[in-house]
Amino acid sequence: MKIAVIADTHLGYPRFYEDSFTQAKYAFEDASKKADVILFLGDLYDTRVPSLQILGETISFFRSLKLPVFAIHGNHERRGKGMLNPVELLQKAGLLTHLHFSASTFEKNGEKIFIAGIGNVPDDLTQKAIEKLKQTVHPPQGIFSILLLHQSFKEFVYGEQLSSIHDLESLGYSLYLNGHTHLYKVGMDGKFLIPGSTVLTQLTKEETQPKGYILYDTNSKSSEFVEIPARKFVFEEMEFSDLPPAEISEKIKNKYEELRNQSPDAAIKLRIKGTLKQGFRAGDITFPSHHFFFIDNRLDERKMQAEIGKLREMREQKPPIRELSEKRLRERLGDRITLFDPQEFFEALIEGPEAGMQYLNTQRRDTKPAPDNNYKEAPPK
C-alpha cells in the first residue's frame, strides 16, 4: 500500500497567503495520484479560528480529493476541552477522519493498516500523552500500524526537557509520523519520519531546502521525499567591519538587486553581521523595502551579547534592585561625567525627576569659576 504523508500546510499564513494554498493543493492533488490514502500530521491551518474565506477555500479543495484523509490537529489548531477545532470541523463535514487518542483502520485490495493519532499537546505533557495512548489504544498484532504525532522531540529541536523519539518505541507501532518540525527528517532507521512543511514560514537558513511530502510503501517499508513546486527561498549573509551606515545601505541594495535578478520570484533574506563605524547605530541604516525581502540585522551583535551577558550575570547574583541600578548607572557613566557624582545623582533621582534636576542645577552652579574680585568693569564711554 502507498501512503502519502503531508504536514504543516498552515493555510492562510499571512506572509505567504497565496503560497500556503497553492503549494498545499499541489501536495494533496499530487498525492491523490500516487497514493492509496493520505495521512495529515497537523497545522492544516495557521490559526485556531480560520476566517470563513479560508474555511471555504479549504472545504472546496478537500471535496475534490479522491482519497480518504486521516488527520490530527496541530498546535496552531489546538483548542480548549469541549471546543471544536477546525480539523474536527472538516470531520463533521465528512471530509476527513480526525484522530486524537483514537484510532481507525483503512483497507484496500485486501491489505489493512491501523492508524492511531495524538493531536498536539503542550511539550511538557508529551510523556503523559504517550502513556495515555498506551492505556487506551492498542495496535493489533499482524497489521501494519502507524502513529500520527505533532510534537517537538529532542533529536530534532533543541530542548533538554523534551521527549525523545525512542520513548515511542514501547508503543509497538510499525511507523511513527510527526509534524510540527518544518524540515524533512528521518529517524529510528526510517521508522520515524517528518515530511516538513509545504510552505515557507520561519525564514531560517535550513528552510532553503525543498518543500514536499513523503510517499511511504508499506510492502517494502521504504519512503521517498516527493518535492513540490514552491517559492524559492534565498538566504545569504553579509558581514561588515567598521563601515558607516550609508556604505552598508548601498552594499545591501546592490546585493538585493543581484539576488533578485537571479531569482525574480524568490523570497530573499539577508542576515547582516559585523560592526558599524564608531558613533553609529544599527537603526541608522536604511534598508530597501521590497515584497518578499527580509532583513535579519545582527550588526554589533557582540556588543549586545556582552550587554546581555552583564545583565544575566547580575540576575544570577540577585542583588537588590537599587544596588543593581546604581551599578548599571556607574558603568554607563564611567569616567565620562566629571560635573557631578553619579552616585549622588542616583540618590537624587530616587526622590523623583525634580530632585534630580535640582541636583544637576546645584552642581552646575557649584562648578562655575569663582568671580575675580580684582576685576573692575571699564566705565562706559
Q: What is the pLDDT of residue 337?
A: 56
Cell 519520519, residue located: 193
- Cα gap 213→224, rounded to integer Å: 9
Q: What is the pLDDT of residue 279?
A: 84
> pLDDT per residue over 103-150, tens digit each?
999 999 999 999 999 999 999 899 999 999 999 999 999 999 999 999
> pLDDT per residue over 149-206, tens digit each?
999 999 998 887 899 999 999 999 999 999 999 999 999 999 999 999 999 999 999 9
> pLDDT per residue over 10-36, tens digit each?
999 999 999 999 999 999 999 999 999
pLDDT category at 260 given cuts 50, 70, 90 is very high
Q: Higher pLDDT residue, 369 or 174?
A: 174
Task: Give the residue from 121, 123, 117, 130 showing the smallest Cα distance to 91.
Answer: 117
**pLDDT for residue 85 is more than 90:** yes
pLDDT category at 252 given cuts 50, 70, 90 is very high
> Nearest-5° angle of CA 287, CA 292, CA 297?
40
Average pLDDT rounded to a whole number, residues 307-321: 57
Q: What is the pLDDT of residue 281?
A: 79
pLDDT category at 378 given cuts 50, 70, 90 is very low
**pLDDT for residue 308 is more than 90:** no
Domain boundaries, the chain: 2-227, 233-302, 331-366
Cell numbers representing residue 56 in the block? 471555504
> pLDDT per residue over 208-228, tens digit each?
999 999 999 999 999 999 999
Average pLDDT rounded to a whole number, residues 296-323: 63
**% of the chain beyond a pLDDT of 90:** 70
Question: What's the whole-model pTM score?
Answer: 0.78
CATH fold for domain 2-227: Purple Acid Phosphatase; chain A, domain 2 (3.60.21)
- Cα gap 194→152, rounded to integer Å: 11
pLDDT category at 81 given cuts 50, 70, 90 is confident
- Cα gap 15→116, rounded to integer Å: 33
Average pLDDT rounded to a whole number, residues 332-338: 58
**pLDDT for residue 330 is more than 80:** no
Q: What is the pLDDT of residue 335?
A: 55
